[in-house]
Structures are given as C-alpha cells and as structure tokens.
Amino acid sequence: MVLVLNYMKSDKLAASFNHAVLRPIGKSGMHADFLRIPKVGGIPDLSKYSHVIISGAEASVVEDNPWDAVLEMIVHDTIEQKKSLLGICYGHQFIARAIAGRHCVRKSEIPEIGWADIHISDNHIFKGITAPVSMVSHYDEVCNLTEDFKIIASTPGCPVHGFQYKNLPVWGLQFHPEYNIEEANEIFDLISEEDPLSLNYYSNALVEETQLNQNEQIIVNFLSLSAD
C-alpha cells in the first residue's frame, strides 16, 4: 500500500500530480491513499503502508512553511519504521533538509524549467532506464550532502538531481518522472503567468515525446523494493 503526500497548494496542480503518479502506481499493481497535507494537517498513521511518496510543491524549501514540523516527523518516522520513501522535487529537497539540516538546501543560482537530460548512475531506482529526459521545474536545490547520501543523478545546472540515503530504500529526485508532456506544459504555462522571467530559464532537450515513455518505470522501480 502506497501513501502519497500531496503538498500542492493549487487544487488543479494537486489533482494533476495525483493523476500522474497514479499511472506508475497502477502499473506496479499496488493501491494508494492520497492526502493533501496542507489541508488535512496532522501525522498520518503509517502502519498500513509499505511506501511513502512526497510530492512537489509551489512552496520553497528554504523558507518556513506551516507543515514543516509535521513533514519532518513523517520523514523520520517513515525511515525508522523501515518504510520505502521517495521525494519528488520539493519532496526530494525536504527529505535532504529533514535528515541533514537546512544548510543542505538553497536557492538555485539559475532555476531549471523545461526538459532536461538527466545524467544517472547505476542504481536500483534507474533499472532499465537509458539516457532519460525529464520535466524539471525548480527554484531551489539540494547541496552540501554528507557521505551518508549517494548522489545518483545530476544535470550541468544542478549537481544533485537524485540521491539515495545510505543503503536504505530512501530516494530523492529533483526531476519529475511522473509527468507527461501535457501535464508538464500545463505547469509551464502556470509558471510563466506567475514568473514571466521563467522564459529565460526554459530549456528543451526533448526531441521526441516517446523519450518520456520510460520515465514512469523509475517510480515502478521504487515501488518494487521495500525496506524489509
């Protein structure tokens, strides 16, 4: 059973993320519960879940947010209870912050918006993945990780696009393997409305839409391995 913690403030973006991440969850044959933490609040009961996924968010990880204390407890409880944990974008950043401290996240010198070539290393979560291109959308990033973290993905503009914590089933991914081209373009349109300068950051390494077909396998791979 998978618990998806959705930290999107926008109802539209929250629904889009849930729909996107449900595709690989369905492929894995698992069932999922979805919680909108900014609205629900409180610490969920993790006892019936084997896997936890933390979504992206419009919020900045370098700033204080009302749910910080709750989410930090969820991260630590998930690890202590030997659950598998995956953070995507904001979730990736927050896992690093919760484990290693606030000095491990910062504002990006140059934000990444668009489609990026993701350089990956050999890791279970990337099994069967070759030269991935993925949607990226972030103004913050992970930095200054300790030796407990293995960096498993990067781009020229962001050295920590993915990590695994120790040898545990705990991963963070800065990029978005869940989104297809329609969902990503919807987000790009919203970003450009709120930040017209985002067009200066936009890059496009996507040659063919079929390049995205393999990306959902990353989440399927995550779901295939448990701490037990």
Residue 113's CATH number: 3.40.50.880
Q: Are 148 and 165 in contact (CB under 8 A)?
A: yes
Residues spanned by the domain of 71? 2-223
- Please pick, among 112, 141, 178, 216, the residue that the annotation labels catalytic: 178
pLDDT of amino acid 65? 92
The runs of H, that is alpha helices, within 29-161 are 37-40, 68-80, 90-100
184, amino acid identity: A
Tell me the pTM. 0.96
pLDDT score, position 228: 46
Q: Clarify whether 147 is annotated catalytic.
A: no
What is the pLDDT at residue 39? 65
Q: Is residue 120 part of a domain?
A: yes
The total domain count for the chain is: 1
Q: Which of 51, 92, 161, 176 is catalytic?
A: 176
CA distances from 205 to 24, 135, 177 (A): 23, 10, 15
Alpha carbons 25 and 13: distance in angstroms, whole number: 18
Written as six digits, the tokens of 145 are 């990780």
Residue 109 lies in a domain: yes
What's the pLDDT score for residue 41? Answer: 66
Dump pLDDT digits (tens) for 10-59. 999 999 999 999 999 999 999 999 998 766 667 788 999 999 999 999 99
pLDDT in tens, 79-91: 999 999 999 999 9
pLDDT of the residue at 40: 62
Stretches in the chain below the pLDDT threshold 50? 227-228
Q: Is residue 228 part of a domain?
A: no
135 assigned to some structural domain? yes
> In the chain, where does DSSP find H-type helix?
11-28, 37-40, 68-80, 90-100, 181-194, 216-223
**Domain annotation covers residue 201:** yes
Q: State yes or no: is 109 an active-site residue.
A: no
**Catalytic annotation on 89?**
yes
